[in-house]
Structure formats: C-alpha cells, structure tokens
C-alpha cells in the first residue's frame, strides 16, 4: 500500500525524469495501453492527455492545476481567435490570451526579482504574496500550497506553446482545434512538456489523426536516440559536472586560473550534453509512440560563426523568437513602433536592475543620432532596424532564461556578436573558404566566444563573472609542476571531456552510418546491447545524478 501511495502522490525526489527507472516503467505501462487503443484517435488523445497530466503532477505537484487552467483558458481563447467573420473580436481574444499567458509567466518567474529591484530603487519594503497559494489553501485546506512563489516546471515551454498556438490561429496558419483533447494533448504531450523542444501546433496537431506507424529502422533509430541521450546526460554532463566543473566553478579561487578556463570549456560540453541529451530522449520516446518531434540541436560546436551557432543551438527556441518576436518587430525589412518601444523597455529594465541613470542619457543621445541618420541616410533605415531587432531578440532570449543582470549581459553579448558578424562577413577574406585549417580555426574561435559568454550564464551573482575572469588572468599559474598536479588529479575527467568533443566533431555521415549499421541487427541483439550499455552507464554514475539544467527555465 505504501508503494501504491508513493506512485500516485507527489514527491520531488520521485519525479518521473528520463534518467530514473520509474519513468521507464511508466513509459512501458503507457505503451501497453497505447498499443490497445492507438487506432481510436479520440480515445488516444484523451488517454495521452491524462497520462501527460499525471507525468506533470509527478514532476511539479499541485502546479498541474495551473496547467489544467491554462489548457482550458487557451482552448476557449483559441476558439475565439478563430471565430469566423469577427475580426475585431478575434483580435480582442488574441490580445487577452497573450496578456494572460505572459502575465502568468512574469508572475511565476520574475515576481521576486522585480519586487527586490523595486525595493532597492525606492527604499520600500514590499513582500511578495503568493495569491494563488492563498486561494488554493482556502479551497483545498491549509498547507496544500507553499506560500512562497515557486516556478512551475516547464512554465516557459508550455507558455510558448500556448502563445504560438494562438498567434498561428490569428495568422490563419492553422484552424482552432475543435476538439479540446487534441489541443490539450499537443500542449501536455509528456516527452516535450517540461524541457522542450518547443513544438508548433501546425507541426504536431496534424499527426494526432494519422495512423500509427513504426518501421524496423525507425524503432532502431528511436532506441539509438534514447541510448545516446542517456550517454550524454549521465556521462558527459552529470559525471563531468559533479567531479570537476561544479568543484572548480563554485570555488575558482582554490584552483589555478587555467583550471577555471578548462572548466568553462567543460561547461560548454556539459550544458550541450545535458540539454541535447534530454531532447534526444524526448525525440526517441516520441518516435516509439509514432509522433515526430523536430530536431533541436544540429552539432552546434561545429559552427563556424556565431550566426551559424545560433542556427544550430536550441533551434526550436530560435525559430520561435524569430517568428513571434523578430519578424513582428520588422525583421530586417522595416522599422516599427515595436522596435522603439522594446528598446525603451529593455533600457528601462536595465536601469531598474542597475540604477544607472546614465543609461537614459545614453539612450537619449543615441535616439537623437538615430533619428538624424534615419532622416538623411536611407541605407541606414534597413541595417539599423535589423541590428536593433536582432539585439532586442537576443536580449529577450536572455531574459527568457531568467530575470537577472547576467542573463541580460549574456543575451546582449551574443546579439552584439551577431550584429558585428553581419558586417564582418562582407569583408572577411575567408568567409567562403572551405579548407580544413581555416574551418578548424573558425570553429575554435566560435566555441571560445560562446564559452566566454557562458561565464555570465553559469555564474548567477552579478559580481561573480568579473571575479572569475580576474582569478583566471591573475592566478593563471601555468607551469609544468601545476599542470602535472592538475593532470594527475583529473586525468580521467580530461579524457572524458576530450572524448565528448571528439564524438561531437565526428562527421555526421559517420554517425548516420553507425545508426544504419545498428538498425540491421536482429531486434533481440539490439535490445540486449541497449540494456547492457544502459546498465554500464548507470553503474558508472549511480551517485552523480543532477537535474536537467533547462528544468529551471
């Protein structure tokens, strides 16, 4: 009875994560029922919506009520947005839907941050009150909800799903879902619910009413993706993080500066292996169920420029920001009031969190220069708008990860790099070079820049990145003696880091051929090989489990 109670109650340490045995038992049970009902599309949608809500409950507890409310709200709003021959009403429903979705996102992710910043700026002493917890405790009994505002798992992901659904309906790209469970299944589908990839309704909902198909090759490919994801997460992310990265970056002053530098490159491997490992498993699990999720990573550390990197990294978020922010702002074609408003909002936000009055003087001077150039230099109108919209998009992308000065700086640095690259590529002597030394140099340069910006991504406090850089430069201490001490201490870790980057840089056709070779094995041999590989991975890292990095977003 105790075990049954544990299975159907929420305990944070018993979350249904892809790296836990309980998830795979849950998935086998789901597949057993799915096999019986897969031809009955409505029943299939109802069933998978139900198990997805249970999956979310096991991960986030009572926040499943919030998810349920947002499902009902956005389904009804979507019907209003798609209401025939009511253009004014359609727009009103869309605006209402966007406001509620964004308000919920800002409330849960940014309430404490803005309250603390407001108190610091104006000398007040306001406290955040979780009104949802107050109401919930009145309805369900005292203690049912925690008074402190906690961030619901995956709130950014399912909010972006809802927003894209409403906007696509308003653009006539998709019709509003007539069946509530089709829409609910799309949003809550458990493989992508809490950490992506971000899925468009136009890509997913049509699959709901397609017959289930799974070829021998597709089964093998799905199994390979799951195994690859587990390897990335358990070995190249968790093991390296626990035994090296966290130790160094949590106390960089205790190590020579060059060790901190190595740890940051290792962190680039960790965050890629962690996030792409999750999406690999999500894509593999989904494929076994007959549904396709789009590729989210395309060997990003093979990128030869910052622009190339952002075409390869977290592709679903990048395309979402492009389609629902960058292009509506005017893209690279024209200016809009949105560009000016967003620029002022971002500068206001920076002032709010830093207190730098100089930002407004700077903004005023730049605005004056901008208006003069706009009036008298026609060519300026195109590239200036493109650059501003690009910067805005990347800064918003930084804020999506969290409301902190460091995330803003991280986004701004990447945005500035994209702007600079747009001009550099016009005069670069090796922009179209294909020889391997130039390509290798460009890959190294891009990886180094991305790793440098991640100092602000990894270290949460505002003063930590500069302190870290000071330690790296002033305490670099690269000598034969210190190097051999570090090498002897972390030799196994360094081999793993090298192996991780090496396998990432292997030609894609080699990897495709490996999957094809695996797919030709008899299924019992595949299953046995997979089971042995997973067993070895778990034995090697049984004490090093870490939550997926992107769960916090």
Give the pLDDT band (50/70/90) at residue 104. confident
Helix/strand/coil for 424: helix
| Residue-level pLDDT at 5 | 45
508 or 136: which leads in pLDDT: 508
Q: What is the mean pLDDT of residues 100-109?
A: 87
Helix/strand/coil for 176: coil
Tokens of 303: 């990128």
Catalytic residue chosen out of the listed positions 209, 401, 432, 504: 401
Identify whether 197 is preceded by a cis peptide bond (ω within 30 of 0): yes
| Residue-level pLDDT at 20 | 83
335 or 423: which leads in pLDDT: 423
Give the pLDDT band (50/70/90) at residue 503. very high
Q: For 276-329, what is each residue's pLDDT tens digit?
A: 999 999 999 999 999 999 899 999 999 999 999 999 999 998 999 888 888 888
| Range name among 40-44, 144-148, 159-163, 400-404 with the lowest pLDDT average | 144-148
Instruction: List the Cα angle 257/458/164 in 5-degree steps.
Output: 155
Write the CA distances from 495 to 65, 230, 329, 492, 511, integer angstroms: 46, 19, 46, 5, 21
| Residue-level pLDDT at 335 | 59
| Residue-level pLDDT at 542 | 53
pLDDT tops 90 at residue 336 = no
- Cβ(342)–Cβ(351) below 8 Å: no
- Is-catalytic flag, 401? yes
| Range name among 23-32, 225-234, 297-306, 384-393 with the lowest pLDDT average | 384-393
| Residue-level pLDDT at 126 | 74
Whole-prediction pTM value? 0.89
| Angle of helix 257-288 versus helix 436-458 axis, rounded to 10 | 90
H or E stretch covering 414 = helix 405-427
Q: For 159-188, what is each residue's pLDDT tens digit?
A: 999 999 999 999 988 999 888 999 999 999
| Residue-level pLDDT at 476 | 85
The pLDDT > 70 percentage for the chain reads 86
Alpha carbons within 13 angstroms on the beta-carbon side of residue 495 total 5
- Cβ(162)–Cβ(77) below 8 Å: no
| Range name among 226-230, 346-350, 474-478 with the lowest pLDDT average | 346-350
pLDDT tops 70 at residue 34 = yes
Q: What is the mean pLDDT of residues 457-481?
A: 88
Q: For 368-410, what is each residue's pLDDT tens digit?
A: 877 787 777 777 767 777 888 888 899 888 888 877 788 888 9
Residue ranges of alpha helices (H) inside 322-377 are 337-354, 358-376
| Residue-level pLDDT at 278 | 92
């Amino acid at each position: 009875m105790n075990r049954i109670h544990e299975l159907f109650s929420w305990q944070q340490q018993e979350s249904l994560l892809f790296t836990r045995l309980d998830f795979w038992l849950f998935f086998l049970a789901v597949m057993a029922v799915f096999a019986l009902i897969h031809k009955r599309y409505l029943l299939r949608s109802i069933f998978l919506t139900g198990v997805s809500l249970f999956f979310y409950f096991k991960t986030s507890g009572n926040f499943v009520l919030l998810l349920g409310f947002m499902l009902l709200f956005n389904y009804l709003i979507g019907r209003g947005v798609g209401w025939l021959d009511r253009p004014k009403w359609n727009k009103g429903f869309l605006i209402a839907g966007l406001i509620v979705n964004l308000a919920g996102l800002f409330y849960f992710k940014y309430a404490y941050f803005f309250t603390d910043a407001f108190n610091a700026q104006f000398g007040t002493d306001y406290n955040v009150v979780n009104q949802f917890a107050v109401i919930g405790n009145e309805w369900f009994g005292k203690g049912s909800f925690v008074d402190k505002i906690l961030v619901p798992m995956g709130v950014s992901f399912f909010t972006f799903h809802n927003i894209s659904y409403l906007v696509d309906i308003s653009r006539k790209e998709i019709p509003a879902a007539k069946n509530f469970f089709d829409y609910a299944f799309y949003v809550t589908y458990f493989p992508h619910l809490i950490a992506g990839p971000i899925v468009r309704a136009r890509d997913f909902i049509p699959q709901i009413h397609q017959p289930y198909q799974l070829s021998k090759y597709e089964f093998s490919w799905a199994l390979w993706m799951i195994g690859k994801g587990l390897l990335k997460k358990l070995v190249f992310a968790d093991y390296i993080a626990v035994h090296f990265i966290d130790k160094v970056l949590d106390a960089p002053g205790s190590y020579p500066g060059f060790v901190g530098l190595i740890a940051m490159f290792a962190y680039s491997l960790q965050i890629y292996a962690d996030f792409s490992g999750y999406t690999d498993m999500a894509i593999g699990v989904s494929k076994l169920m007959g549904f396709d999720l789009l590729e989210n990573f395309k060997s990003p550390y093979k990128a030869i420029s910052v622009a190339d990197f952002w075409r390869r990294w977290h592709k679903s978020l990048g395309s979402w920001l492009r389609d629902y922010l960058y292009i509506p702002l005017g893209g690279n074609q024209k200016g809009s009031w949105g560009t000016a408003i967003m620029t002022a909002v971002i500068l206001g936000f920076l002032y709010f969190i830093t207190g730098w009055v100089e930002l407004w003087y700077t903004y005023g001077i730049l605005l004056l220069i901008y208006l003069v150039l706009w009036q008298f230099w026609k060519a300026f109108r195109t590239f200036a708008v493109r650059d501003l919209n690009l910067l805005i998009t990347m800064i918003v992308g930084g804020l999506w990860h969290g409301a902190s000065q460091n995330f803003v700086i991280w986004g701004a640095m990447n945005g500035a790099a994209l702007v600079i690259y747009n001009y550099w590529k016009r005069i670069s002597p090796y922009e179209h070079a294909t020889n391997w030394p130039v390509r290798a140099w460009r890959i190294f340069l891009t990886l180094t820049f991305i790793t440098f910006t991640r100092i602000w991504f990894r270290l949460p406090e505002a003063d930590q990145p500069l302190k870290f850089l000071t330690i790296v430069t002033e305490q670099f201490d690269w000598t034969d003696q210190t190097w051999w001490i570090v090498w002897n201490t972390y030799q196994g870790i360094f081999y793993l880091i090298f192996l991780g980057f090496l396998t990432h840089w292997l030609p894609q056709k080699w990897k495709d051929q490996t999957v094809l070779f695996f797919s030709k094995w008899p299924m019992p041999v595949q299953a046995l090989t997979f089971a042995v590989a997973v067993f070895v991975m778990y034995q090697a890292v049984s004490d090093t489990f870490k939550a997926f990095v992107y769960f916090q977003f």
